[in-house]
Amino acid sequence: MVKEFSYSYGNYYAKDRFVKMRFDIFKDLLMPYLEKNIKILDIGCYDGAMLEALKSITKDIDYTGVDADLIALTIASNRGAKIIHLNFETATLPFRDNSFDIVIMGEILEHLRNPAKLMEQTKAVLKPGGKILISLPNECTLYHRLKMLLGKGVDGTGFKAGYHLHFPTIQQNRDFVLTYFNIIKQEYWYHLGVGGVIEKLLSLIPKFMIEFFIHVCPSLFARGVIYLCEK
């Protein structure tokens, strides 16, 4: 079971420009709340790249990262994170209620068999009035719909361990988050793929055009959505 949730992204986080785009949105949304000695919990922190991003704003952060990947957690620890190795499917968050000012959940819920369980635990450890940043994918973009039409599958991974188990729409994401938290603000992000002919063709589209299409119809063109919420 542990190995199932130890899928390694390798250097993906360090090199992918769309991941960096997502982190920039995280920083912009969190910046007004990053006070001195604020306590942050990053659920699914991987290698602590988010801590590195936040350090560019302030170094006075009490940051705890939780993940299932031991190798990635070692890197996070070297970056200054307090780390906890945890299988989200079988264990519970080992923190007292109302422990953290900010919680980050970046692209983790769609990997779990029971994401509601983790949401309930997260709500408990977040302080009253605390902020939570939740990033979720949109698996029903025009690109994904074309892949389905061609018989390629939503993400092409089939039964491989560690990939997505849920394939929500933008509206389903919002409805799920609102079950637990009040949404203050939301932003969309996009991704043009990681290889292949279609992705190379998409990369030729000017950025302003992509952002226009996302604004007009996020359900078809936004790769994911980031919610800033409050308990």
User: In sequence order, what E strands does the chain have?
Assistant: 38-43, 61-67, 82-85, 100-106, 126-137, 182-189, 224-230
Q: Which domain holds residue 43?
A: 3-230
The residue that leads in pLDDT, 147 or 95, is 95
pLDDT, residue 6, reads 45
Mean pLDDT, the chain, as a whole number? Answer: 86
pLDDT, residue 5, reads 43
The residue that leads in pLDDT, 222 or 153, is 222
Percent of the chain with pLDDT over 90: 54
CATH number of the domain at 151, please. 3.40.50.150
pLDDT, residue 156, reads 67
Place of tokens 């560019």: 56
pLDDT above 50 for 7: no
Instruction: Give tens-digit pLDDT for 75-101.
Output: 999 999 999 999 998 899 999 999 999
Instruction: Give tens-digit pLDDT for 172-219.
Output: 999 999 999 999 999 999 877 655 666 677 777 888 888 899 999 999
- DSSP letter at 111 equals G
Token readout for 24 is: 């920039």
Cα(63)–Cα(110) distance, integer angstroms: 23
Cα(167)–Cα(157) distance, integer angstroms: 13
pLDDT, residue 1, reads 36
User: What's the domain count of the chain?
Assistant: 1
Instruction: Give tens-digit pLDDT for 35-81.
Output: 888 999 999 998 998 998 898 888 888 999 999 988 889 999 999 99
State whether the Cα torsion 119-157-83-22 is positive or negative. Answer: negative
pLDDT, mean of residues 123-131:
97
Token readout for 129 is: 């009035």
